[in-house]
Structure 1
Amino acid sequence: MVDSKGKGCVLSHTDQSNNIITQKIIEELNNLKDWQPAVTENKKEEKSSINIAFLIKDNAIDGGIERVDINAFKKSFDNPTKPEIFNKSYTYKNENLKNYNITIWNSKNSNLPNNMTDHIAIDNNGVIWLTVDEGLVKFDGTKFINAEQNITEKGKFFSYYAIDVDNDNVKWVYGTNNIYSYNDKEWTKYDPKVIGIDGAYKIINNPKTNEVFFCSDEGLTIYKDSKWSNLNQDKIKELPSNRVTFARRDSKKRIWIGTFSGSVMIDENGKITNFENSNTILKGKCITSMDEDENGNLYFTLFEFNRTDKQKVNNDEGIAIRYNDGTFKQFTTENSGMPFNHANCIIYDKKEKVIWISTDRAGLVRFDLKDGWENYHNENSEIPTSYISTMKLDKNGDLYLATRRGLVKIERK
């Protein structure tokens, strides 16, 4: 990847042997100065990616730019990469894997438009909503139906980046430069000047308080009872940043907020805890997802936002549990069965009393909250990839995975 300032970073490579020569190439590419950023209509692109192919033969190395069009790029996701298991000390027995049926829908075995599913929501009727590359579809269990908004012209590019469903079964979607809602009859577009935002990192429904949270660069925007409000640094001086990537209420009505500069908690009385001023494991971390069990224990995925080594992949992240007595515990590749420390989503399964964790390099993790860790991916299960964007549980307790190789359902036999 090359950014607009000419800084380059190797995002991935295809050498499954992880040869020392490959590591040296990556080091040199990352240290290479003055990359030439891509330019469109005299404007430097914020981010662009290139493929570089190297041939090592007869004690010589040769390399060059590999020109790839967008269709070839999308097709490349049909070839899953090898899972990267950074935990070398834990033995994964995966004894529960046999208890699940795994079903995959992709563009080859169904009418799914393409396999690039990044965001997922399940409505009150059990219909699954998926963002697929630049489109939006709904799935009734049999077929995928195009469900894109029809009140804004698509233009040259239009895509969907976040989705959730509120208590009234209204679908909330962030499409290019606008927030939309859909009540199964018509689409509504919200004026950014009125609601204060034109996009969102995440949209999160809070069923117990009937609030919908929109996490964006403008702070935390809350929709409730047809009214919009906003929490930002102007109103909350303890908020580390207006760049809110995640927020959710727990059963005690506390709001947990993750920003790119730290995490905070606002309790039921409005008292604010900035964890950057604490000695807890949340210091230096951004909360990126959260769930809660019936006993009030909270489960978090973490992002280390101020890493000293920017090139390091397996960082001080993992997951954290805040027990109902107020104590925290972090689980990483160093002290648990976490296969990789960067997790995308965490879900508590009340039927099985386990938590599910999705990662973008090591597949799916099942943790029984005692000492049992299991790791499912494309080399030891029917899950077609080690890259899982996010997850949702339906009312039956079936787990759905949004992946870059289609929609996956994990159902207990």
Structure 2
Amino acid sequence: MTAFTLNLNAQNLFPVKLDNCKTERFCLDCGDTKAGYNQEEFTKLQDNLNKELNLQGIKGAVKFQVLVDAKGRACVLSHTDQSNSPISQKIIEELNKFKKWTPAITSGKKEEKSSINLIFAISDNKISGQIERVDMTAFKKSFDNAKSPEIYNKTYDYKNENLNNYKITVWNSKNSNLPNNMNDNITIDKNGLIWLTVDEGLVTFDGKEFKNAEQNITDKGKFFSYYALATDNNNIKWVYGTKNIYSFDNTKWTKHDSTEIGIDGAYEIINNPKTGEVFFCSDEGLTIFKNGKWTNINKSKLKDLPSNRVTFAKRDSKNRIWIGTFSGTAMIDENNHVTNFENTKTILKGKCITSMDEDENGNLYFTLYEFDRKEKGKVNNDEGIAIRYADGTFKQFTTENSGIPFNHTNCVLYDKIEKVLWISTDRAGLVRYDLKDGWENYHNENSDIPTSYISTMTFDDNGNLYLATRQGLVKIERK
């Protein structure tokens, strides 16, 4: 598990994005020792490029973002050459083949995945490449400028008739003591206290003041960050910090030994209120904490599980566990029978569920991630949301057949009071769907919501909706 996660595929820095890498989570040019390469071998790579390419009369430079793993393998994530010239294609080919990368190291441990930037310049008929380190201060500052929403649905007429029914409140680093605006995870505990991850920190918010709430039992060193957050039935807060799972019982912090619990991190931490289970989704399968005991579900125990790399899991009212992995979605029923949706003809085939909610009638709502994309480089993929109705039938909603503005969705919540769906996206803002034919789309150009990028959402006990965004904390309440 690694640092500075910007959600699925959200960390591709350059305009031309490639889909040939597994990019779920990684850190951006991080580490006490940053990722790099063996200089002697890299010089040979340059020499090969100079031999094979005709560079006569060409001048210019292209930047490449390269993902380096703990074993010294790499993959090009994105680049700046929007013409996709043969020269850039050849550089990508050579970088992907190159075996002498050196991984990033934090606190003596190799980072699972880290991205670095390289710049290749052509001058005097020669090409040369070198690492260009990321200016993290400038990078984070770039997120503080809200981007215009990208609405891929060009046919739906958004009237947003319900927008005036809501009061929208925003807390950011300019109008409050919020340390910074990069909020990716949120939970509200049993006392109504809001917990937020803020870039490399952790804070609480009581409605008036933000307070630092970081664990105090691990030396955070040069880099430390928090990535996943949940509150369980006993009001214990669960957090994934760099290389460790922590819990806080409102008095003291506890670090959970990875050799005992079997994991040193989590993509998501999810509380299941009805069963008292806390789910930890990781590369080691689904780890479950209940009544003080840790258990694990993985492919060695359930061979029909698509993969051990679990990104999301949640139990429904019929005691079934729905699991999203990076190789497909599965459901474990109350008899421990596994349905692997890769072996079905349903709309979940080829998809990984990334969030889920349920209404009072047993209908299930999912956000989808297309893990095996047919069209490389496509932004608006075959995703959207899915509804599994109580009778077992599925329906998918995309920009092609509904009013959803963009197909990559981050989180779905069912509003029991209004009986509507709230859907967050990372390019088109917030979606309100009335479950009939009414779709509304709120973002920074038509509402007080300050951004088109919404990481995740949660409700408080009064039914107010809170958004964790890259432009601060947002509260949406009925007037």
Q: TM-score, normalised by structure 2?
A: 0.78
Which residue type is aligned with residue 381 of structure 2?
N
Unaligned runs of 5+ in 1: 14-21, 53-63
* Cα shift at 1:309: 2.1
CA 1:240–1:6 in structure 2 vs 1: closer, same or farther (change >3 Å)? closer
* Cα shift at 1:6: 5.4
* Cα shift at 1:93: 0.7
Kindly indicate whether residue 460 of structure 2 is the aligned counterpart of residue 394 of structure 1.
yes
1:382 corresponding residue in structure 2: 448
* Cα shift at 1:24: 3.4
* Cα shift at 1:81: 1.2
Give the distance between the partners of 1:106 and 1:49, measured in 2 at CA: 30
Which residue type is aligned with residue 259 of structure 1?
T
* Cα shift at 1:76: 1.1
1:10 corresponding residue in structure 2: 78
Corresponding residue SS for 1:74: helix
Deviations 1:42-74 (A, max 9, x none): x9994335599xxxxxxxxxxx99976211211
Which residue type is aligned with residue 124 of structure 1?
K
CA 1:68–1:303 in structure 2 vs 1: closer, same or farther (change >3 Å)? closer
* Cα shift at 1:285: 0.7
Kindly indicate whether residue 222 of structure 2 is the aligned counterpart of residue 163 of structure 1.
no
Matches within 5 A, 1:190-209: 190-209=256-275
Which one of 155, 169, 173 corresponds to residue 89 of structure 1? 155
Which residue type is aligned with residue 159 of structure 2?
K
Kindly indicate whether residue 296 of structure 2 is the aligned counterpart of residue 230 of structure 1.
yes
Give the distance between the partners of 2:166 and 2:118, measured in 1 at CA: 38
* Cα shift at 1:25: 6.3
CA 1:314–1:140 in structure 2 vs 1: closer, same or farther (change >3 Å)? same
Deviates more, 1:211-220 or 1:265-274: 265-274
Give the distance between the partners of 1:28 and 1:344, measured in 2 at CA: 36
* Cα shift at 1:188: 0.7
Give the distance between the partners of 2:111 and 2:253, measured in 1 at CA: 34
Corresponding residue SS for 1:348: strand
2:115 corresponding residue in structure 1: 48
CA 1:239–1:68 in structure 2 vs 1: closer, same or farther (change >3 Å)? closer
The number of equivalent residue pairs is 394
Which residue type is aligned with residue 176 of structure 1?
T
CA 1:144–1:311 in structure 2 vs 1: closer, same or farther (change >3 Å)? same
The root-mean-square deviation of aligned C-alpha atoms, in Å, is 2.5
Deviations 1:121-162 (A, max 9, x none): 010111110000010001000000100000111111111110
Matches within 5 A, 1:3-402: 3-4=67-68, 5=73, 7-10=75-78, 23-24=82-83, 32-33=91-92, 34-35=94-95, 46-48=113-115, 50=117, 69-402=135-468
* Cα shift at 1:3: 1.7
Give the distance between the partners of 2:177 and 2:115, measured in 1 at CA: 30
Give the distance between the partners of 1:151 and 1:177, measured in 2 at CA: 13
Deviations 1:65-110 (A, max 9, x none): 9976211211111211111111111111111111111111111110
Does the 8 A contact of 1:38 with 1:45 survive in 2?
A: no
Which residue type is aligned with residue 332 of structure 2?
I
Give the distance between the partners of 2:417 and 2:373, measured in 1 at CA: 37
Q: TM-score, normalised by structure 1?
A: 0.90
Deviations 1:350-373 (A, max 9, x none): 011000000111111000000000
Corresponding residue SS for 1:313: coil
Give the distance between the partners of 1:44 and 1:192, measured in 2 at CA: 16
Which residue type is aligned with residue 374 of structure 1?
E
Does the 8 A contact of 1:9 with 1:30 survive in 2?
A: no
Which residue type is aligned with residue 390 of structure 1?
T
Does the 8 A contact of 1:10 with 1:29 survive in 2?
A: no
* Cα shift at 1:268: 1.3
Does the 8 A contact of 1:38 with 1:48 survive in 2?
A: no
* Cα shift at 1:23: 5.0
Does the 8 A contact of 2:103 with 2:114 survive in 1?
A: no
Kindly indicate whether residue 473 of structure 2 is the aligned counterpart of residue 407 of structure 1.
yes
Which residue type is aligned with residue 385 of structure 2?
I
Which residue type is aligned with residue 379 of structure 2?
V
Unaligned runs of 5+ in 2: 1-64, 120-129
1:56 corresponding residue in structure 2: none
Give the distance between the partners of 2:133 and 2:333, measured in 1 at CA: 53
Give the distance between the partners of 2:85 and 2:237, measured in 1 at CA: 43
Deviations 1:4-35 (A, max 9, x none): 25543338x9xxxxxxxx95369986775245
CA 1:254–1:44 in structure 2 vs 1: closer, same or farther (change >3 Å)? closer
